[in-house]
Amino acid sequence: MKESSPINEERLFQEFIKLAEIASPSCRERQIADYLKKRLTELGLAVEEDDTAAKIGGNTGNLLARLPGQEGLEPLFFACHMDTVAPAEGVKVSFKEGVFRSHGDTVLGGDDKAGIACILEVLQVIRHEEPSHCPLEILFTVGEEKGLLGSKNFDISKVTAKTGYVLDATGSPGGIVIAAPAQNVLYITVKGKAAHAGFEPERGVNAIRIASEAISRLRLGRIDEETTSNIGIIEGGKATNIVPDAVYIEGETRSLDRVKLDVITDEITREFEKIKEIPGAKCDVRVVFEYPDYRLEPEQKIVGFAAQAVKRAGLDVRLETSGGGSDANIFNDAGLQVANLAIGMQNAHTTEEYLESRDIIDVAHILWEMVQMSAAAGK
Ligand SMILES: [Zn+2]
């Protein structure tokens, strides 16, 4: 139990700082992957890198590492992503009063290096304590922040485990994300007709005006408790004295329910397509299905096993629904059942990101409990 836990807190903190200070922007994870290959090999794991780099225009593939375990036990899978959002270069970690932060000019990268550090710490403990445990399969993905590129290109048949965990959810440890939405992204171009705004505005068709009229008709924000929509980018126009002839817009829709996702996506598409009825105006809407949703039931073994580990680590269990996608969406869709676990990251994707040291200790404890429980065939 927690009191007698062999987790080495200082070693865990140092590992986290080391990982955070290795720059790993999306699709440029070479340096951290090389470091992780070395560390995993030292810890007795067999590591292979796949061919995803070439497929996504990156310099690094996904790393899959295997640690053999007791025969006859089903393997367990864990995954984190190696990349971070920008500003990702030159991270310097300050560690004061139990809180990790960047120096304020970059992200911290606790998303997702907090998870990686905890996995490495537990592998250290396994090496030292030699407990009996199930075989472990650990995947470190690339390009997650650029649209789950690594997991989308990973050959899931390389994994023999049927269940596992992604360590990539925000919030304090104990959170188990059992449902996450599917997402569509909409790429919209609205075309009008340029004209001199002072001499002959009547010859123009103002693309900004017709685009904004369409946007004003949309349902945006929270549609219902399972569904959201957003227009996030709008660009257009060249000068105040030109009637603008083009506007470019990007938006998204998300829902835990695939039918609702289609309904809101179609509704937005239709509103923009009405622009085609305006003389001289054109509109093109392209919808890209970004990732599928997933939903686990509280009764499922994968959820119960995590809940038990959380309790054994002395924490409260929270079964949660996420508003965002992660590699967990891709793995579940491919038939590998995974829940996403909260790892303590706060204000992720901002330069104000921070991580409480207590939280990564708790995450490491949860993982260590899972490893020990795996030997008791409790999963
Ligand atoms: Zn993440």
Residue 168 known to be catalytic: no
Of 257, 273, 291, the domain-final residue: 291
Closest alpha carbon to 309 in 361, 229, 365, 270: 365
H/E element holding 359?
A: helix 357-375
Query: Do you know the residue count of the chain?
Result: 379
Q: Which residues contact 126 (CB under 8 A, 6 or more apart)?
A: 43, 67, 133, 371
Q: What is the DSSP letter of 74?
A: P
Same domain, 261 and 322: no
Cα-to-centroid distance, 175 and ligand 1 (Å): 15
Number of structural domains in the chain: 2
**Residue 202: which CATH number?**
3.30.70.360
Question: Which residue is catalytic, options 29, 83, 145, 369?
Answer: 83
Antiparallel, parallel or unpaired: β 195-196 and 136-141? unpaired
Residues 28 and 114 both lie in one domain: yes
Residue 183: CB atoms within 10 A of its CB come to 23
Mean pLDDT, consecutive 10-residue stretches, the chain (379 aa), reads: 78 98 98 98 98 98 97 96 96 97 95 98 97 97 97 98 97 97 98 97 97 97 97 97 98 97 98 97 98 97 97 98 96 97 95 97 98 78
Please give the structure tokens belonging to residue 21.
Answer: 């200070």
Predicted local distance difference test score (pLDDT) of residue 29: 98
The last residue of a domain, from among 238, 263, 291: 291
What pLDDT does residue 279 have? 97
Q: How far is CA 121 from CA 9, 26, 40, 48, 200, in A?
A: 9, 24, 11, 20, 70
Measure the CA–CA gap between 162 and 213, rounded to whole angstroms: 49
Q: What is the pLDDT of residue 242?
A: 98
Q: Are 165 and 180 in contact (CB under 8 A)?
A: no
Protein residues near ligand 1, an ion, with CB under 5 A? 111-112, 168
Q: Are residues 173 and 314 in the same domain?
A: yes
Give residue 139 CA to ligand 1 midpoint distance, Å: 14
Single out the catalytic residue among 50, 144, 293, 369.
Answer: 144
What is the whole-number distance in angstroms between the Cα of residue 349 and the centre of ligand 1? 9
> What is the pLDDT, as a whole number, of residue 379?
43
Instruction: Identify whether the C-beta of residue 118 lies closer than 8 Å to the C-beta of residue 173.
Output: no
Q: What is the pLDDT of residue 5?
A: 81
Q: How far is the C-alpha of 172 from the C-alpha of 259, rounded, in Å?
A: 32
Write the CATH number for 102: 3.40.630.10
Predicted TM-score (pTM) of this structure: 0.92
Instruction: Give the end of a domain, one of 259, 291, 323.
Output: 291
213 catalytically annotated: no
Task: Note down the domain range covering 104.
Answer: 2-180+293-375
Instruction: Give residue 110 CA to ligand 1 midpoint distance, Å.
Output: 8
